[in-house]
Structure 1
Amino acid sequence: MRGALAQRLRAVFVADQEPPLWTRAFLLVCGTQLLAYSSYAAIHPTFAVYLETITHSESLIGVAFGAFTFAAVVARPVAGWLLDRVGRRGVQAIAAVALAGTTLSFTWATVIWVAIGLRVLHGIAWGVSSTATPTIAADVVPSARQSEGFAYFGIVPNIALMVLPPAGLWIAHRYGFVMQFAGAALLALLVLGPLAALEETTPAARSDGEFYAPEALPAATLVALGSIPVGAIDALLPLYAPTVGLDNAGLFFTVMGGAILLTRAVRGRLPGTIPALLVVSFVCQAVGLALLALAPRLLVVSRLPLGLLAGAAVFGVGFALVFPLLQSVAVAATPESQNGSATATILIGMDLGVGFGAIGFGILGDLVSFTSMYTAAAVVSLTGVLATIMISLEDSLH
C-alpha cells in the first residue's frame, strides 16, 4: 500500500523522466544569443539613416544593406566548417570581437565606399556569430527535447528585436550615432562573459569539416519556403500598410513579433508530430497572407486595419515554429560532430528564402497590386504544405 502510494506521488511530482532543458549551459548560451542579437538590433534599423549623413544615393544605401546580407550568407558555410573542425567557443569569441570592432569602426566611416567595405566585414562577423550560438544550443539541448528547446531558444532573438531597435533609435536621436555604435559594440564584447563561463561543447570526435550538411538539405528547403513570404513582408509591408489604414507599420511587426514569441513559448505543450505541426504552420502562414490580401475589403467593412493586424498575428503563429522544428530535424539527421554544418545549412536556407522573397515579390509588386502579390505569397506557403508532405513520405522529417 505504502509502495503504491509512493509510486503515485512520484508520478505526480516527477511527471516524466525527460532530461532537463533549463541547464546552466542552456541559460549561458541563451545569454550569449541575447547579447549578440542586441548588438545587431541596436543599429540595424537606423543604419540607413546614418548612411544618409554620408551619401544621398539610395542605391548605394541599398548596396550597403545587400553587401551585409550577402557577406553573412557566404560566411555561414565557412563558419559551420570552422565550428565543427576548430571548436565552438574560440570561433564565437573571435566573431564577437570582430562584431564589436566593425560596429565601432562605423564611427570613422565618412565615405560611403568605406562604409560598404566595413559593412561587408560586419556581415561576415554576424554570419559567423549567428551560426555559432545556435550550434552551441544544438550541443547542449537534450536530443529528446530539441524541437521544444529550439523554440525557447528562438524566443531570445525576438526579445532583442522587440526591445533594442527603439532603444537604439532613442540613443541615436539623444546622443548621436557615435554613442549608438559604441553601445552596440559594448554589447558584442559582453558576449565574451557568458561564453567564458560556458564549457566547450564541441564533441570529442570532431568532424573533418564540411561546408554544408547534405542530410539537412530537406529541412533547409522547407525553411527557405517558409522564409520567402517573410521577404515580401519585410520589403513591402511598410509601403502597403498606409494604403489599408495603418499609418504606423511598426504596429504590424509588433503584433507579428508578439505572436511568434507566444507561440514559441507554448511549443512544449503543443501536441502532434513534426510533419503535422509543419503543415499547420504553413497553413497558418497562408491564412495570414490571405488576410493581408483581403485587408482593403475588410477595411471597407470595419474602417479599422483589422485584416492587416489579424494577418500579422496568424502569420506570426505560422512562422514561429518553422525554423525551430526544422533545426531539430536538421540536427537529428546529422552526426553530432557536424552540428555546425547542419545549423549553417538551414540558416542559409532562411537567408536565401528571405532574400529571394524580397527581390521576387519586389519585382512582382511593380507589376501587380499588393492584393495579388500577397495572394501569390499565400500560394508559396501552400507549396510548403505539399513539400512537407512529399518530404515526410520519404521519411526525412522523422
Structure 2
Amino acid sequence: MEKLWTKPFVLLTVSMLFLFTSLYLLLPTMPLLVTQLGGTESQVGLAAGVFTLAAVVFRPIVGGLLDRYGRQAFIVWGLLLFGLSMIAYDWIAGIAALMALRVLHGASWAFSTTAVGTSITDVIPTGRRGEGMGWYGLAMTMAMAVGPMLGIWVVRNESFGGLFLLAAGLCAVSLLLASVAKAPYRPKPSSGRIALFEKSTLPAASAIFFLAFVYGGITTFVPLFAESIDVNPGTFFLAYAVTLTAARPLAGKLSDRYGAAFVVVPALAVTIGSLIVLSLADGLAGVVVSAVLYGLGFGSAQPALQAINLGLADPDRRGVATASYMTAFDLGIGLGSIALGWVSQYTGYPTVFQVGAGSVVVSLSIFLVLARRMAAKHRERANAAS
C-alpha cells in the first residue's frame, strides 16, 4: 500500500490546522470589532462578504499561477501577507479602513490556502486520495471547533490586540511548518495564457457548490433557529463536529476502496434527510438528530467530492483544479447565506432548511450524471489498455 503519512503530508496538514484556527479566531469576534468601531448590522455582514468575495476573485488567479510557477513562493508570501493582515487589524480606527483590510485579508487567504492545499494534494498517493482528503479536512474541522471558542475567550479575558497577536502567531507557525515541508511539484516550462478554471472539474465543482450553498445557510441560520425553539445553538455544532470528526477519515478509506459513488450517494441522501429533520424539529432531540445526520452526510461527501475533483484534472493542473474547487465552495457559502436569508425573511426557518434540502438534491443529481461519465471513461481506458 502506498504511504500516506509522510513528513510533508503531516507538516502541511498541521500547517493548515494552525492557519484555519487563526482565521476561525475572527469568525465570532469580527462582529464585535465592527460594533466597537461604530458599525451597523449591515456592515457586520459586509465585513464577512467582502472577505469571501475577495477570496472568490483571487482563487482562480492563484490556481493558474501555482501550476505555472510552482507552490513554494506562493505559500511563503501568502502566509506572510495573511499574518501581517492579522497584525494590521489592531491599527484600524474606522469602518472604511476595516473594509479595505478585509479585501487584502481575503486575497491573502485565497493565496495561502490554495497554495498549501494544492501542495497537500501533491503528496497524497493517488490510491489513498479519499483518505488523505479526509484527514486534511479533519484538520479544518478541528480548527472550526477550537478557533471560535478560543477567540471569544481571548477577547473577553484579554483584548482585541491580544487576539490579533495570537492569530498572527498561529499563522507564523503555519508558515514555519509549510516552509519545512518540501513541495515535490516542479512546474513544466509553458507559455500562453494562465488557466483560470479547470473545465474538466466543472461537474464536481457544481456538485460541491450546491452542497456548500446549504452549508452557508446552516452556519448562518441554525443559531437563530435553535434559539427560537429554546435550544442552545452550541448543541447542534458540538454534535455536528463530533460526528464530522469520526466520519471524515472512515469515509475517505471507503471511497478509496469501493469508489466515490459508494460514499457520495448515501452521504448526500443522509444530508437531505438531516435538513428535513431540522425543518421539522421543535426541540433538543430533533436538533441533535439533525446535527448527527448532517455531520455524517456532509462530512463524508465533501472529501470524496474533493478527491473526485482532483482525479478529473491532469496532475500538472492540480493548482487550478484545487482553486476551482475552493472557489465553488466559497461561492456556494456566500450565495447560500444571501439567498437563504431572503427565504428566511419572507417564509421562516423551516422553509430555509427545506430549500436547502432541495439544493442537496440538485447536488446529488449532478453527481449521478458525473458518476456515469466517470464509469464510461474508466471502461474506455480499460478497453484501451486491453
Q: Per the shorter chain, which TM-score range?
A: over 0.9
Moved more, 226-235 or 175-184: 226-235
1:262-277 matches, cutoff 5 A: 262-270=246-254, 272-277=258-263
1:51-130 matches, cutoff 5 A: 51-130=34-113
Does the CA-based 8 Å contact 2:239-2:288 persist in structure 1?
yes
Q: Distance in 2 between matches of 1:36 and 1:56?
A: 27
Offset of 1:206 from its aligned partner? 5.4
Matched with 2:384 is none
Moved more, 64-73 or 230-239: 230-239
Q: 2:222 aligns with which of 225, 228, 237?
A: 237
Q: Distance in 2 between matches of 1:342 and 1:99?
A: 22
Matched with 1:6 is none
Gaps in structure 2 of 5+ consecutive residues: 379-386
Offset of 1:269 from its aligned partner? 4.5
Q: 1:354 aligns with which of 315, 333, 358?
A: 333
Read off the aligned partner of 2:244 and give its amino acid letter. I
Matched with 1:198 is 181
Offset of 1:204 from its aligned partner? 4.5
**What is the DSSP-based 3-state SS (H/G/I as helix, E as strand, rest coil) of the residue aligned with 2:374?**
coil
Q: Deviations over 1:147-185 (max 9, x none)?
A: 111111110011111112211211111110001101101
Gaps in structure 1 of 5+ consecutive residues: 1-17, 300-304
- Residue 249 (1) aligns with residue 228 (2): no
Q: Distance in 1 between matches of 2:292 and 2:50?
A: 31
Matched with 2:122 is 139
Q: Distance in 2 between matches of 1:370 and 1:169?
A: 27
Q: Structure 1's 181 and 233: CA in aligned 2 closer, same or farther, altered over 3 A?
A: same
Q: Structure 1's 37 and 219: CA in aligned 2 closer, same or farther, altered over 3 A?
A: same
Offset of 1:196 from its aligned partner? 2.4
Which structure has the greater CA radius of gyration?
Answer: 1
Does the CA-based 8 Å contact 2:22-2:171 persist in structure 1?
yes
Matched with 1:225 is 210
Q: Distance in 2 between matches of 1:49 and 1:124?
A: 22
Q: Deviations over 1:184-242 (max 9, x none)?
A: 01111222211221113223535654111111111101101211111221121111101
Q: 2:301 aligns with which of 318, 322, 332?
A: 322
Q: 2:323 aligns with which of 320, 344, 347?
A: 344
TM-score, length-normalised on structure 1?
A: 0.90
Does the CA-based 8 Å contact 1:203-1:336 persist in structure 2?
no
Matched with 2:382 is none
Read off the aligned partner of 1:241 and give its amino acid letter. A
Matched with 2:195 is 210
**What is the DSSP-based 3-state SS (H/G/I as helix, E as strand, rest coil) of the residue aligned with 2:3?**
coil
Offset of 1:260 from its aligned partner? 1.2
Matched with 1:167 is 150
Does the CA-based 8 Å contact 1:76-1:128 persist in structure 2?
yes
Q: Distance in 2 between matches of 1:335 and 1:366?
A: 44
Q: Distance in 2 between matches of 1:317 and 1:272?
A: 18
Q: Distance in 1 between matches of 2:357 and 2:47?
A: 30
**What is the DSSP-based 3-state SS (H/G/I as helix, E as strand, rest coil) of the residue aligned with 2:319?**
helix
Matched with 2:354 is 375
Moved more, 283-292 or 259-268: 259-268
Q: Distance in 2 between matches of 1:53 and 1:273?
A: 51
**What is the DSSP-based 3-state SS (H/G/I as helix, E as strand, rest coil) of the residue aligned with 2:310?**
helix
Offset of 1:268 from its aligned partner? 4.6
Moved more, 232-241 or 139-148: 232-241
Offset of 1:394 from its aligned partner? 2.1
Moved more, 200-209 or 253-262: 200-209
Matched with 2:383 is none
Q: Distance in 2 between matches of 1:32 and 1:101?
A: 17
Report the number of matched residues. 373
